[in-house]
Amino acid sequence: MTQIKVDGELIEVPDYYTLMQAAEAAGKQIPRFCFHERLSVAGNCRMCLVEVKGGPPKPQASCAMGVKDLRPGPNGEPAEIFTNTPMVKKAREGVLEFLLINHPLDCPICDQGGECDLQDQAMAFGLDSSRFTENKRIVEDKYLGPLIKTIMTRCIHCTRCVRFTTEIAGINELGLLGRGEDAQITPYIERALSSELVGNIVDLCPVGALTSRPYAFTARPWELTKTETIDVMDALGSAIRVDSRGCEVMRILPRINEDINEEWISDKTRYVWDGLKRQRLDRPYVRKGKKLVEANWDEALNLVARKIKKAGNRVGAIAGDLAGVEEMYALKKLINSVGSNNIDCRPPMSALEANMDRGVYIFNPTIAGIEESDCILIIGANPRFEASLLNVRIRKTWRAKDLPIGLVGQRVDLTYDYTHLGEDIDSVKALATGSHKFNKILKKAKKPIVIVGEGAISLAKNSKKTGRDILSMSLMIANNAGALREDWNGFGLLHNAAARVGGLDIGFVPDNGGASSLEQLELAKKGELDIIFLLGADEYDLQSLDKTFVVYIGSHGDVGAHHADVILPAAAYTEKSAIYVNSEGRVQMTKRAVFPPGEAKEDWAIIRALSARIDKILPFDNLAQLREKLYAEFPHLQNINQIKAGNISAMKKLAKIPAKTSNVLLRSPIKEYYLTNAIARASKIMAECVKARREREGANR
Partner 1 sequence: MKQFLAELFIWWHKQTLSIGLRTWLKGRHVGTDEFGNKYYTDKKNKKRWVVYDGIVEASAIPPGWHGWMHYRTDILPNEENYQPHKWEKPHIANPTGTRNAYHPKGSLLRDGKRAKISADYEAWKPE
Give the binding site for partner 1 (CB under 8 A).
218, 245-248, 276-283, 285, 291-292, 556-557, 561-562, 597-598
Torsion angles phi and psi, residue 467, rounded to 5:
-60, -45
Q: Residue 278: name its binding partner from ligand SF4, partner 1, ligand FES, none (Cβ under 5 to 8 Å by kind).
A: partner 1
| Of residues 45 and 224, the one with the C-beta less far from ligand FES | 45
Would strands 184-186 and 175-177 be described as parallel, antiparallel, or unpaired? antiparallel
How many chain residues are in contact with ligand FES, going by CB under 6 A?
13
Q: How far apart are the C-alpha atoms of 671 and 312, rounded to whole Å? A: 39
Count of residues in the chain: 701
User: Residue 248's binding partner, choosing from ligand SF4, ligand FES, partner 1, none, with beta-carbon cut-off 5 to 8 A by kind?
Assistant: partner 1
Handedness of CA 565, 560, 453, 507 (dihedral sign): negative
CA–CA separation, 327 vs 338, rounded Å? 17
For residue 155, state whether it binds ligand FES (rule: CB under 6 A): no
> Nearest-CA neighbor of 315 among 324, 305, 323, 325?
305
82/51 Cα distance (integer angstroms)? 5
32 binds, among ligand FES, partner 1, ligand SF4, none (CB under 5 to 8 A by kind): ligand FES
Distance CA 617, CA 560 (A): 27
Closest CB to ligand FES among residues 4, 61: 61
Nearer Cβ to ligand SF4, position 150 or 583?
150
Using an 8 Å Cβ cutoff, are 358 and 646 in contact?
yes
Which entry of ligand FES, partner 1, ligand SF4, none binds 609, CB below 5 to 8 A by partner kind?
none
Q: Which DSSP state fits 571?
A: -
Between 116 and 471, name the residue whose CB sits nearer to ligand FES.
116
561 touches, from ligand SF4, ligand FES, partner 1, none (C-beta below 5 to 8 Å by class): partner 1
Report the candidate in 617, 566, 611, 604 with the shortest Cα–Cα distance to residue 300.
Answer: 566
* Residues paired with 424 in a beta bridge: 665
Cα distance between residue 155 and residue 152, in whole Å = 5
Q: Using CB distances below 5 to 8 A depending on partner kind, what does residue 156 bind out of partner 1, ligand SF4, ligand FES, none?
A: ligand SF4
Q: Which does 61 bind (CB under 5 to 8 A by kind): partner 1, ligand FES, ligand SF4, none?
A: ligand FES
In sign, the C-alpha dihedral spanning 123, 124, 129, 135 is negative
Q: What one-character DSSP code corresponds to residue 116?
A: -
CB nearer to ligand FES: give 158 or 360.
Answer: 158
- Identify the DSSP state of 507: T
Among ligand SF4, ligand FES, partner 1, none, what binds residue 155 when CB lies within 5 to 8 Å by partner kind? ligand SF4
Q: Is residue 33 a contact residue for ligand FES (CB under 6 A)?
A: yes
Taking the complex as a whole, how short is the minimal distance between the CB of residue 150 and ligand SF4, in angstroms?
A: 7
452 belongs to the binding site for ligand FES (CB under 6 A): no
Site for ligand FES in 62-101 (CB under 6 A): 63-64
Q: Return residues touching ligand SF4 (CB under 6 A).
A: 155-161, 185, 204-207, 209-210
We find the least distance from the C-beta atom of residue 666 to ligand SF4, in angstroms, to be: 39
| Closest CB to ligand SF4 among residues 138, 400 | 138
Query: Which stretch in 41-49, 99-107, 402-410, 448-456 sits in contact with ligand FES by CB under 6 A?
Result: 41-49
Give 3-state DSSP helix, strand, coil % of the chain, rounded to 5: 35, 20, 45
Please tell me whether residue 551 binds ligand FES under the rule CB under 6 A.
no
Q: How far is the CB of 539 from ligand SF4 (least distance, A)?
A: 37
Smallest gap from residue 170 Cβ to ligand SF4 (A): 17
Nearer to ligand SF4, 185 or 323 (CB): 185
**Closest alpha carbon to 148 in 696, 692, 682, 700:** 692
Nearer to ligand FES by Cβ, of 45 and 148: the residue is 45
Q: Which of 588, 587, 590, 589 is nearest to 643 (CA)?
A: 587
Establish if 61 lies at the interface with ligand FES (CB under 6 A). Answer: yes
Contacts of 472 (CB under 8 A, 6+ apart): 654, 655, 656, 657, 658
Q: Between 292 and 494, whose beta carbon lies closer to partner 1?
A: 292
User: Can you tell me the distance from the alpha carbon of 102 to that of 156, in angstroms, rounded to the nearest whole number?
Assistant: 8
Among 47, 118, 174, 678, binds ligand FES (CB under 6 A): 47
The string of DSSP letters for 455-503 reads HHHB-TTS-HHHHHHHHHHHHHHHHHTT-B-SS-B-EEEE-S-TTHHHH
Please name every residue paired with 186 in a beta bridge, in sequence order, or none if there are none.
Answer: 175
- At closest approach, how far in Å is the CB of 162 from ligand SF4? 6
Provide CB contacts within 8 A for 161, sequence distance 6+.
174, 185, 201, 204, 205, 210
With contacts defined by CB under 6 A, name the span among 42-50, 329-337, 558-566, 677-685 that binds ligand FES: 42-50
48 or 281: whose CB is closer to ligand FES?
48
| CA-based torsion, 164, 167, 171, 175: positive or negative | positive
Query: For residues 447 and 681, which CB has a smaller minimum distance to partner 1 in the complex?
Result: 681
CA distance 523 to 514: 12
What Cα–Cα distance (Å) separates residue 246 from each residue in 127, 128, 322, 594?
Answer: 38, 37, 24, 7
- Rounded Cα gap, residues 664 and 658, in angstroms: 15
Output the smallest distance, CB 384 to ligand SF4, in A.
23
Question: Which of the listed partners (ligand SF4, ligand FES, partner 1, none) does 157 bind, with a CB threshold of 5 to 8 Å by partner kind?
Answer: ligand SF4
The least CB distance from residue 32 to ligand FES, in Å, is 4
**Closest distance to ligand SF4 from the beta carbon of 182 (Å):** 14
Residue 207 contact among ligand SF4, partner 1, ligand FES, none, beta carbon within 5 to 8 Å by kind: ligand SF4
Chain positions contacting ligand FES, by CB under 6 A: 32-35, 43-48, 61, 63-64
